[in-house]
Amino acid sequence: MTVKKYSSGAAKLATWMEENMPHGLPIFGFPAEHQECCIIAVGRFFGSGKPSTD
């Protein structure tokens, strides 16, 4: 539904959302403590520049 909303006014955004969002959404099905670990790991992988919370 959101992708359809942006398809006419922001086609590039809609395409990006359609291709990438389904891969990130499953994290919200994990227990909260696992979500935090996954987010930290992804940040480290992509070099978010934030200090480690370990």
Written as tens digits, the pLDDT of the chain (54 aa) is 677 787 888 888 888 888 877 777 777 788 888 778 877 777 787 776 555 565
CA 52/CA 54 separation, integer angstroms? 6
Residue with the two structure tokens 């992708």: 3
The pLDDT of residue 48 is 60
For residue 52, what pLDDT is reported? 58
Q: Measuring CA to CA, which residue among 25, 2, 26, 22 is closest to residue 14?
A: 2
Would you state the pLDDT for residue 51? Answer: 56
